[in-house]
Amino acid sequence: MTTMRYDVTLRIGYDYTSPTDRARNLLRVLPRDIPGVQVIGDWSLTLGPHPSEQRHFTDFFGNVVTSAVWHGRIDEVRITLNVQAERLSVTPLLALATPLSRLSQELAVVRDISADSPLHFTAASRRAPLDRTMTAFARDRLAPGMSVLDAVRAIGTAIYEEMTYSSDATHVDTEAAEAFAKRAGVCQDFSHIMIACLRGVGIPAAYVSGFLRTLPPPGKEKLVGVDAMHAWVRAWVGPETGWIEFDPTNNQTAGTDYITIGYGRDYDDVAPVRGAMRGAGKQTSEQSVDVVVLDG
């Protein structure tokens, strides 16, 4: 694979049925620079109506956060992001595979607590709680002597095969266990299920939010989840290899077709929009994504 360059356009809109006063949003939509993996070029992010305050900061996990505050009343928000991103081809993994049976000892000696440390991703989290059913499902995919890397792939593939992609089965607040019981959901559900499965068998797992290229390379099928923001999974497979990324919705390693926005323990940490509004009304939202390959 070679380096891929993309032009990404994201549009998100919220309409409030009654005006909301002093709305406040945290956006995690801007892809981050990842040394050796991803380089971010020119970008623009516009919000309408124009916020009273807008600034950017970096969160604990190194994701770029945009804070937008409106001091008055608004009845809609329109977010438009345009960004050029370069995804570098990564050297294939070396075969220094850690056996799954040794992973807990490896983790026990980790003292690193920086953002990339696997220790942040071992515990159950609100959107990916441990669940007996999912843990048992994951355990059934394991074989004696398996490497962590193979275990991650086996579990990811099993979820892909077991689950049906359906945008009607779940909504943004559906719990992972419920989506798993239905055996249906969208990329967010696939990812939370895989995270819960991996953590259930002791593998540190993170949630990745980002984009997929809209049109496939010539001769390949269009991927699932291209028309909206996408999510996949990051798993820690041992001290030598570190993190790998797997997309259970498309049953493949996340490579140069993917653009990463950010990492978190689950959706809560990287939700594209976290908002607070004052007012009695409800909100409706829409989203569109276009990822165009440049000089492809």
Partner 1 sequence: MDKRTKSAASSPLLTGYRPSPGVADELFDRAGEMRPVWTPFIRALSNLSEEELRAKFERGRQYLRDAGVYFRQYSGDPLNEREWPLSNIPVLLHETEWNEICRGLAQRANLLESVMADLYGPGRLLTGGHLPPRLITENSHWKRPMVGVQPRGGHYLHFLAFEIGRSPDGSWFVLGDRTQAPSGAGFALENRMAMRRVFPEDYPRAYTHRLVGFFESFRSTLEDLATANRSEAHQFGLLTPGRANDAFFEHLYISRYLGMLLLEGEDIVVQNGQAMVRTIEGPVPLGLLWRRIDSNFADPLELSPDSQIGVPGLVDAVRSGNLAMVNALGSGVLETRALMAFLPRISRVLTGEALAMPNIATWWCGDDAARAYVRENVDRMMIAPALALDLPFDSNSETVRGAEPEIVDLLDHPAPDLVGQETVALSTTPAWHDTPEGSRLTPCPMTVRVFAARTAEGWEFMQGGYARIGPDGDASALAMQRGGSVADVQIISDLPVPDVAGRRPGPDPSGQRRVRTESAALPARAADNLFWLGRYVVRFEEAARLLRAYHLRLAITDAPEDRLLRMISEFLKPVGIEATQAIPVGLRNRLFSAHNCASKVRDRFSQDGWIALNDLVKTVGQMTGSATPGDDAARAMSVLLRKTAGFSGVVTENMYRYYGWRFLSIGRALERIDALAAVLETFADPAAPDGALDVALEVADATMAHRRRYALGTTRDTVVDLLAHDTGNPRSVLYQLREMQRLAEDLPGATLSARPSALVRELLPVRTRLEVDQPEDVGTDIMREIRRAIARMSDRLADAHLR
Q: What is the DSSP string of 122-181?
A: SS--SSS---HHHHHHHHTT--TT-BHHHHHHHHHHHHHHH-EE-SSS--TT--HHHHHH
Q: From CA 20, how far away is CA 17, in angstroms rounded?
A: 9
Q: From CA 214, how far away is CA 226, in angstroms rounded?
A: 5
- Total binding residues for partner 1 by CB under 8 A? 27
The binder of partner 1 chosen from 1, 96, 123, 294 (CB under 8 A): 123
Shortest distance, CB of residue 139 to partner 1, whole angstroms?
A: 16
Counting contacts by CB under 8 A, is residue 59 touching partner 1?
yes
Shortest distance, CB of residue 238 to partner 1, whole angstroms?
A: 17
Counting contacts by CB under 8 A, is residue 132 touching partner 1?
no
Using DSSP, state whether 198 is helix, strand or coil: helix
Counting contacts by CB under 8 A, is residue 67 touching partner 1?
yes
The binder of partner 1 chosen from 93, 119, 146, 169 (CB under 8 A): 119
- Among positions 259-278, residues that touch partner 1 (CB under 8 A) are 268, 271, 274-276
Q: From CA 44, how far away is CA 25, in angstroms rounded?
A: 17
Half-sphere exposure of 248 (CA within 13 A, CB side): 37
Q: From CA 260, how far away is CA 26, in angstroms rounded?
A: 18
Counting contacts by CB under 8 A, is residue 174 touching partner 1?
no
- String of contacts with partner 1 for each residue 9-38, x by CB under 8 A: ------------xx-x-x------------
Q: From CA 38, how far away is CA 260, in angstroms rounded?
A: 8
The binder of partner 1 chosen from 80, 101, 117, 214 (CB under 8 A): 117
Residues 6+ apart with CB under 8 A from 277: 16, 20, 21, 23, 24, 283
Using DSSP, state whether 21 is helix, strand or coil: strand
Q: From CA 10, how far away is CA 96, in angstroms rounded?
A: 39
Shortest distance, CB of residue 112 to partner 1, whole angstroms?
A: 7
Q: From CA 104, how far away is CA 108, in angstroms rounded?
A: 6
The binder of partner 1 chosen from 110, 142, 224, 292 (CB under 8 A): 110
Shortest distance, CB of residue 42 to partner 1, whole angstroms?
A: 27
Taking CB under 8 A as the binding criterion, the range among 59-67, 212-220, 231-239, 252-260 that sits at the site for partner 1 is 59-67
The binder of partner 1 chosen from 48, 60, 136, 139 (CB under 8 A): 60
The total number of residues shown for the chain amounts to 296
Counting contacts by CB under 8 A, is residue 69 touching partner 1?
yes
Would you say 96 or 276 has its CB closer to partner 1? Answer: 276
- String of contacts with partner 1 for each residue 214-253, x by CB under 8 A: ----------------------------------------
* Encoded amino acid at 61, one letter: F
Shortest distance, CB of residue 277 to partner 1, whole angstroms?
A: 9
| Alpha helices (H) in the chain, listed in sequence order | 103-108, 132-139, 148-162, 176-182, 187-200, 267-270
Question: Where on the chain is the footprint of partner 1 (CB under 8 A)?
Answer: 21-22, 24, 26, 52-53, 59-61, 67, 69, 71, 110-113, 117, 119-120, 122-123, 126, 268, 271, 274-276
